[in-house]
Amino acid sequence: KFDRTPLIAGNWKMNMDHVQGITLLQKLAWTLADANHDFDRVEVAVFPPFTDLRGVQTLVAGDDLPVVYGAQDLSPHDSGAYTGDISGQFLSRLGCRYVLVGHSERRAIHGESDALLATKVAAALRHCLVPVLCVGEALEIRQAGSHVEHTLEQLRGSLAGVTAEQAASLVIAYEPVWAIGTGEVAGPADAQEMCAAIRNELSELYDTATAARTRLLYGGSVKASNAAQILRERDVDGVLVGGASLDVAEFANIVRFEH
Ligand code: PEP
């Protein structure tokens, strides 16, 4: 498990304008530096709104911060008549390492399908961005007992066309919809059950060596008080944090889950 560098990722969603975002990131970097955080041991990534990315790039490059960042979405296209969309090419040039693909809010609000998400994954890979592919079931599906089957179907659909080498570099976030922004957190055993099922599916789609390299995150109401327990699970390699990533002290404590 520890061959896979843990990733603690903060999804700011549509919060923090370009001034607030810079302040938050600066404070986070200071807090973690004061605590002597080893960023090579536990990677820290933030996902600000598009309009913050240029400022984040300037701050990270100017102050040589060890934090990495990504965008919350991308277009499947590289350029052209797609008003309002942002391409992977632009994100890559702004120094993004990651990009979220298929967050449940985009699946629900924008009706993003697995077929569309497969084209977004391909676009991200074309521009050397690491897709953080989000999958996970709604409450009714869990209650019906088909959450594993449903989540694996999303996984297969969104990974169409991805090679083994590419799959090994991906990050996959299991985010049960019923746990996102609700304060309702999946138990560590639920997170482990799904992450193990995802890793097993990756070994069937590709091979065990590939599946052993892919990093799997849990997301859904993660806080400093529950992060360590979830991160102890064998197949959970990190967490994707929404609400709690807007609070510097709370997020820094999630990053420092080993302490
Ligand atoms: C998310 O936005 O990916 C998320 C998990 O949100 P929250 O931590 O607020 O539940």
- Residue 249: its H or E element: helix 248-255
Q: Is 242 touching ligand 1 by the criterion CB < 6 Å?
A: yes
Instruction: Sketch out the chain's domains with CATH numbers.
Output: 7-238 (3.20.20.70)
The answer to whether 11 is annotated as binding is: yes
Looking at the chain, the whole-number percentage of residues with pLDDT higher than 70 is: 100
Q: What angle do CA 117, 200, 228 make, to 5 degrees?
A: 85
Q: Is 10 touching ligand 1 by the criterion CB < 6 Å?
A: no
Going by their DSSP bridges, the two strands 98-101 and 43-47 should be labelled as unpaired
The interface pTM score, or ipTM, of the predicted complex is: 0.97
Catalytic residue among 43, 105, 137, 175: 175
Residues 56-95: pLDDT tens digits?
999 999 999 999 999 999 999 999 999 999 999 999 999 9
Q: Mean per-residue pLDDT for 134-152?
A: 96
In whole angstroms, what is the distance from residue 169 CA to residue 213 CA? 7
pLDDT above 70 for 2 = no
Looking at the chain, the whole-number percentage of residues with pLDDT higher than 90 is: 95
Q: How many CB atoms lie within 10 A of CB 142?
A: 20
Q: Which two tokens stand for residue 250?
A: 């709370």
Active site residue 201: no
> Which amino acid residue places its CA nearest to atom 5 of ligand 1?
220
Q: Is 240 touching ligand 1 by the criterion CB < 6 Å?
A: yes
Name the average pLDDT for the chain: 97
pTM, to two decimals? 0.97
